[in-house]
């Protein structure tokens, strides 16, 4: 997730279309899979599957071909000339180094997000006669377990952004999200949705329509049709229930279905660092032990304020679980 500097509302239909096109184009080059996404007026969410690099890695010619498919890419001509010069010298070590630089930009989340945000910033600034940074900070990321309920829970949280913001009552009515693209029949979006549903059902195969039906049920489980709540002053909230009401229900031992608390801005989905089952979170933490303090003896932390058995994060949120 990344937010525009100062929370400015810059994304209109034109900007959303430009960003969406860049998103899919760069995902293809960087070889990451977009499972779903949501573009809002001042921030965006993307659920990304980053596969391991293939063995063997693409050749120089394959890399140049992929680079050439990038719209308006200024690098491909210079890259081809540089490669030709290296080969003319017969310098195999230099060619391997040249190729490694491009491989480092693929199958890599940080490289993908960096080039996505940089290219959109340049495009936006050029179109609007603007200069300077466009983004508030480095992107936030959470590692999500690729099996079980965690993946579909995170995907639903993302696709329901427009509903929580009060923009639409059904996410399929919001053009700028992965679910709406899947309903519209876009192959990449449907492939991402099928990947999400397979994680839930644990079935290897399944038709597109079946996946759409299963995922829609996840978006519209109990409570999805509730009316917009009324605040104490009589005003209507913008498509979400208040934090106090949610926390009160949870404190009163009322367990909400997933889709109900997804209507709130639950910070675990942006600030939890790692998200999934206890076994998954513990495994990720063991593999990255150097990133945590020496006093930390245990890893997985249960969700506070949302007792949804079986889901854990790496970071325990002390305050403002909802917000």
DSSP codes of every residue in 67-86:
HHTSTT-SHHHHHHHHHHHH
Quote the longest CA-to-CA distance of the chain: 77
Of 184-193, 223-232, 293-302, which one has max mean pLDDT?
184-193
Over residues 295-308, the mean pLDDT reads 64
pTM comes to 0.74
Cβ atoms of 87 and 95 within 8 Å: the answer is: yes
Higher pLDDT, 240 or 298: 298
82: number of Cβ within 10 Å? 14
pLDDT in tens, 66-83: 888 887 666 778 888 889
Lowest mean pLDDT among 100-104, 185-189, 222-226: 222-226
pLDDT score, position 216:
78
| pLDDT surpasses 90 at 52 | yes
Cβ atoms of 111 and 99 within 8 Å: the answer is: no
Lowest mean pLDDT among 56-65, 112-121, 178-187, 295-304: 295-304
Lowest mean pLDDT among 33-47, 141-155, 255-269: 255-269
pLDDT score, position 266:
56
**Measured between alpha carbons, how far apart are the two ends of the chain, in Å?**
15
Rounded to the nearest 10 degrees, how much is the dihedral formed by the CA atoms of 29, 34, 198, 38?
-170
Pairing of strands 274-276, 143-144: parallel
Over residues 303-319, the mean pLDDT reads 63
């Amino acid at each position: 997730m990344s937010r525009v500097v100062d929370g400015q509302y810059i994304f209109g239909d034109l900007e959303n279309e430009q960003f969406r096109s860049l998103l899919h184009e760069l995902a293809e080059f960087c070889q990451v899979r977009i499972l779903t996404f949501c573009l809002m007026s001042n921030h965006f969410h993307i659920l990304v599957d980053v596969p391991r690099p293939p063995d063997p890695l693409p050749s120089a010619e394959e890399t140049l071909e992929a680079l050439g498919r990038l719209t308006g890419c200024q690098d491909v001509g210079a890259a081809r000339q540089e490669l030709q010069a290296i080969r003319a010298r017969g310098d195999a070590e230099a060619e391997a180094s040249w190729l490694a630089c491009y491989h480092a930009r693929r199958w890599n989340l940080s490289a993908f997000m960096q080039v996505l945000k940089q290219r959109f910033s340049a495009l936006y600034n050029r179109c609007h006669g603007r200069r300077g940074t466009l983004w508030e900070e480095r992107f936030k990321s959470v590692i999500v377990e690729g099996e079980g309920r965690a993946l579909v829970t995170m995907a639903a949280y993302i696709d329901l952004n427009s509903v929580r913001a009060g923009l639409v009552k059904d996410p399929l009515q919001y053009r700028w999200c992965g679910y709406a693209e899947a309903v519209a029949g876009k192959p990449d979006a449907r492939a991402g949705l099928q990947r999400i549903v397979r994680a839930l059902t644990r079935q290897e195969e399944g038709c597109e329509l079946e996946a759409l039906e299963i995922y829609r049920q996840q978006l519209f489980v109990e409570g999805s049709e509730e009316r917009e709540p009324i605040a104490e002053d009589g005003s209507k909230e913008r498509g979400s229930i208040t934090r106090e009401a949610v926390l009160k229900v949870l404190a009163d031992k009322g367990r909400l279905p997933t889709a109900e608390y997804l209507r709130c801005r639950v910070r675990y989905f942006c600030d939890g660092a790692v998200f999934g089952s206890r076994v998954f979170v513990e495994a990720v933490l063991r593999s990255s032990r150097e990133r945590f303090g020496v006093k930390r003896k245990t890893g997985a932390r249960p969700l506070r304020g949302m007792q949804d058995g079986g889901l854990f994060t790496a970071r325990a949120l002390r305050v403002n679980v909802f917000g």
